[in-house]
Structures are given as structure tokens and as C-alpha cells.
């Protein structure tokens, strides 16, 4: 029987093993050397390698990212951890104009093997400035790799892969996944960048689910199976590069597509996947594509509004049923329609 460990333990193990294999790997970030070790993901590395290779930093995001890029250009392999991906907005120039572009601008002579981990997810009343899921911003940029591992196996394999890569990688982790467990080999292994995963095979509807929405999709699949609707679940795992062939193969097989993302609908990853399906598999579609995303409004603070704001397995199941049975899907996020219209009166369209 395969060994099972938690998502956070898999990340921790990936860090320790990468540092054992390569003395150029080091970890920095606010709380990296703290006793809690950023949800426990850096505790073991800190104990084993000490402050020379795992160290706490000041709150200066742009400076730290610049230091990481400089270290990577000099042959080191830095890991920079942000407790929330919202803080990456303070360092966009460094990430977009430097980390992503030096390899190209130098004709391949400079490499930037730089892993930036950032955490997303709901809870704690984190609200509009600390709950954003910004993967689409980074996936838009050539030169960046963007990964969003769902299972412990994926987390370890993709982190090890990113630290063997010569490109800057943004790893976005959902905080609700840290305590989830699954089978993970003890020895080091890698998952190729751009290789998705068929989480569950099915024949009636394809659900492309991202990060925590994969778990919601699995619950939705159980619900739909009671009505003889067979859902296929695809986890891209990597948003840039995206496993286009895996997605298209599934869509061509089922003819129906639901996309479940952890972020907003407008200009998001769900739009990119929907465009891919419409451009390259349109003739196979039996019904319109449905996207399950956050409503186009900032994240609320109260738990009551959070429950209305975030989609879940019920939304995915409703969408899948509507595609197979030909009935319109209900929108459980209609509570925000009035809010958005009122905002438009004062500030124009979002």
C-alpha cells in the first residue's frame, strides 16, 4: 500500500530533497524560518539546513524578488514564499519584466531558475485584499511557468520539477489543501511541466477543474452518478504551459464542457480554456460551455456572504446536469447581481 502524507508534508519533503540534491537551493520569505514554517511547509528544511539556507525576511516584496532574480542569474536556485498571493502585486515589475524575460533578452545565455510559492483560498474573513486568486495574471506572461497542484503527489512532483527547471515558476497553492492527504512516493520524482492529469474518467461531461475545485468536482461527480451522468475530471495542474491535447481529447470524447476555476470569470483561465475548446473542438461540442467561477465582484468579508460568493460542488453538478438534460443551470451567485449593478452606477463597469 502506498504511503500517504499530507499536502503540506509533500511540499516540505520536496524542499528537503531538492536542497539535499542541490546545494544552490535556498528558501526565503516572511515566516520561512518561523516555528510554524508557513503552514508547516518549511519546518523540516529549516531544522535540517539552518538559517544559512532557510531564513526569514523583511516585508519588502519587490526587493526580495529582485534579490531572488539576481541570485538565480548567478547560479543559485532561490525559493521565495508569500503567505498570500495578493502580495505578488507589489512585485509585478520584477516578476513580469525581469524574472520572465531575462532568458529571452539574453538569447538564452541567462537562466532564471526561481520558484515563487504563493497561497490563495478563502476563510478567516480575509476579504477583498487577501483572498484573490490571481493565476490568470501570471499565466498571461510569456516566460513564466504557472503551476497549481491539487494533490500531495502533484505538489511534490511539480515543485521538484520547477527547481530543476531553468525558468521562473509561480506555484499557487490553495490553503484548504494543506491538510488533505494522498499517496506520495518517498523517493524524489518530477512531473513534467504542462502535463495534466485525468483525475476521473467519464463519458458524458468533461469538467476541467483547477486547484481546490478538483475536490469539488469529485463530489459533484458522485452526485451526478446517482442520475447516471458520468463526469470526466481533468486537472491541468500546470496553467502555463497548458496541456491542450489532454483537454481537447476529453472534450472531443464527451462533447460537453464545464470549467471550474478558483478565480473570476472575466479574462480568466476559464476563458482561455473555453476559447481553446471553441477554436479547436467546436464541431464536437453538443452544448454551450459552462464556466463555474467567482462572481465578478471583490471578495466579501462576512462568512454569510462568503458562502454565497464561492461556488462549490453543487454548482458543478447543476451545470453538468443541465448540459446532459438540456435544462438551464441555476446561478447560486445571483445574490451579487444587485451589488454589481449598484457599483456600476457609481464607478462604471468593472
Q: What is the per-residue pLDDT across 309-333, written as a single tens digit (0 to 9) for each?
A: 999 999 999 999 999 998 766 654 5
pLDDT band (50, 70, 90) for residue 335: very low
Give me the pLDDT at residue 82, please: 87
Give me the pLDDT at residue 329, please: 63
Do 47 and 147 belong together in one domain? Answer: yes
Model confidence pLDDT, tens digit, residues 144-186 = 999 999 999 999 999 999 999 999 999 999 999 999 999 999 9
Do 58 and 114 belong together in one domain? Answer: yes
Do 172 and 229 belong together in one domain? Answer: no
Give me the pLDDT at residue 338, please: 41
Within a domain: residue 333? no
Give the pairing of strands 238-240 and 144-147.
antiparallel
Within a domain: residue 114? yes
Within a domain: residue 349? no
Range of the domain at 90: 7-183
State the Cα–Cα distance between residues 33 and 124, nearest whole angstrom: 23
Do 82 and 174 belong together in one domain? Answer: yes
Give me the pLDDT at residue 114, please: 97
pLDDT band (50, 70, 90) for residue 342: very low
pLDDT band (50, 70, 90) for residue 125: low
Q: Which pairs count as long-range contacts for 342-348, CB under 8 Å and 24+ apart, including other chains?
A: 343/297
Do 137 and 260 belong together in one domain? Answer: no
Do 163 and 267 belong together in one domain? Answer: no
Give me the pLDDT at residue 244, please: 98
Model confidence pLDDT, tens digit, residues 173-231 = 999 999 999 999 999 999 999 999 999 999 999 999 999 999 999 999 999 999 999 99
Average confidence (pLDDT) over 10-37: 95
Give me the pLDDT at residue 85, please: 87
Give me the pLDDT at residue 326, please: 86
Do 202 and 170 belong together in one domain? Answer: no
Within a domain: residue 84? yes
Burial of 348 (0-12, 13-18, 19+ CB in 10 A): exposed
Instruction: Report the CATH number that the domain containing residue 113 is assigned in CATH.
Output: 3.40.50.970
Do 78 and 175 belong together in one domain? Answer: yes
pLDDT band (50, 70, 90) for residue 272: very high
Question: Would the pLDDT of 341 be above 90?
Answer: no
Task: Report percent pLDDT > 70 for the chain.
Answer: 92
Report how many domains make up the chain: 2
Q: Which positions are catalytic?
A: 61, 130
Average confidence (pLDDT) over 268-287: 97
Record the cell numbers describing residue 320, joined without a space.
453538468
Within a domain: residue 221? yes
Give me the pLDDT at residue 123, please: 67
Do 289 and 234 belong together in one domain? Answer: yes
Model confidence pLDDT, tens digit, residues 49-87 = 999 999 999 888 999 999 999 999 999 999 999 888 888
Q: Which residues pair with residue 259 across a beta bridge?
A: 208, 291
Do 232 and 316 belong together in one domain? Answer: yes
Within a domain: residue 188? no
Question: Would the pLDDT of 134 be above 70?
Answer: yes
DSSP H helices, the chain, are 7-21, 37-40, 43-49, 61-73, 92-94, 102-105, 127-130, 135-139, 152-162, 213-225, 244-254, 269-280, 303-309, 313-325, 337-347
Question: Would the pLDDT of 18 be above 60?
Answer: yes
Instruction: Report the CATH number that the domain containing residue 302 is assigned in CATH.
Output: 3.40.50.920
Domain boundary (157, 183, 209) is at 183
Give me the pLDDT at residue 162, please: 97
Record the cell numbers describing residue 53, joined without a space.
539556507
Do 78 and 137 belong together in one domain? Answer: yes
Within a domain: residue 95? yes
Domain boundary (152, 183, 214) is at 183
Question: Would the pLDDT of 283 be above 60?
Answer: yes
* DSSP character at residue 167: S
Summary mean pLDDT of the chain: 92
Do 18 and 145 belong together in one domain? Answer: yes
Within a domain: residue 278? yes
Question: Would the pLDDT of 343 be above 70?
Answer: no
Model confidence pLDDT, tens digit, residues 262-271 = 999 999 999 9
Amino acid at each position: 500500500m502506498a504511503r500517504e502524507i499530507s499536502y503540506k508534508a509533500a511540499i516540505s519533503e520536496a524542499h528537503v530533497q531538492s536542497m539535499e540534491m542541490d546545494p544552490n537551493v535556498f528558501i526565503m520569505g516572511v515566516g520561512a524560518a518561523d516555528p510554524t514554517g508557513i503552514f508547516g511547509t518549511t519546518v523540516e528544511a529549516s531544522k535540517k539546513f539552518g538559517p544559512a539556507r532557510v531564513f526569514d525576511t523583511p516585508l519588502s516584496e519587490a526587493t526580495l524578488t529582485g534579490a531572488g532574480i539576481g541570485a538565480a542569474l548567478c547560479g543559485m536556485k532561490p525559493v521565495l514564499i508569500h503567505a498570500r498571493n495578493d502580495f505578488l502585486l507589489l512585485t509585478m515589475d520584477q516578476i513580469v519584466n525581469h524574472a520572465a524575460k531575462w532568458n529571452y533578452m539574453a538569447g538564452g545565455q541567462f537562466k532564471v531558475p526561481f520558484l515563487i510559492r504563493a497561497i490563495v483560498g478563502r476563510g478567516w474573513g480575509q476579504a477583498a485584499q487577501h483572498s484573490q486568486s490571481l493565476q490568470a495574471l501570471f499565466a498571461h506572461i510569456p516566460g513564466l511557468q504557472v503551476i497549481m497542484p491539487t494533490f500531495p503527489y502533484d505538489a511534490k512532483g511539480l515543485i521538484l520539477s520547477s527547481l530543476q527547471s531553468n525558468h521562473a515558476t509561480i506555484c499557487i497553492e490553495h490553503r484548504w489543501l494543506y491538510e488533505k492527504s494522498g499517496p506520495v512516493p518517498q523517493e524524489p520524482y518530477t512531473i513534467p511541466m504542462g502535463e495534466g492529469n485525468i483525475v476521473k474518467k467519464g463519458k458524458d461531461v468533461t469538467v476541467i477543474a483547477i486547484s481546490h475545485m478538483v475536490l469539488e468536482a469529485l463530489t459533484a461527480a458522485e452526485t451526478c452518478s446517482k442520475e447516471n451522468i458520468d463526469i470526466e475530471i481533468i486537472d491541468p495542474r500546470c496553467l502555463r504551459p497548458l496541456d491542450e491535447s489532454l483537454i481537447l481529447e476529453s472534450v472531443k470524447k464527451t462533447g460537453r464542457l464545464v470549467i471550474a476555476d478558483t478565480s473570476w470569470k472575466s479574462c480568466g483561465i476559464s476563458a482561455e480554456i473555453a476559447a481553446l475548446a471553441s477554436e479547436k473542438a467546436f464541431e464536437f461540442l453538443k452544448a454551450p460551455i459552462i464556466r463555474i467561477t467567482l462572481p465578478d465582484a471583490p471578495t466579501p468579508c462576512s462568512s454569510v456572504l462568503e458562502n454565497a460568493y464561492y461556488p462549490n460542488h453543487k454548482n458543478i453538478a447543476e451545470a453538468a446536469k443541465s448540459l446532459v438534460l438540456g435544462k438551464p443551470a441555476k446561478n447560486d451567485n445571483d445574490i451579487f447581481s444587485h451589488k454589481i449593478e449598484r457599483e456600476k452606477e457609481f464607478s462604471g463597469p468593472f
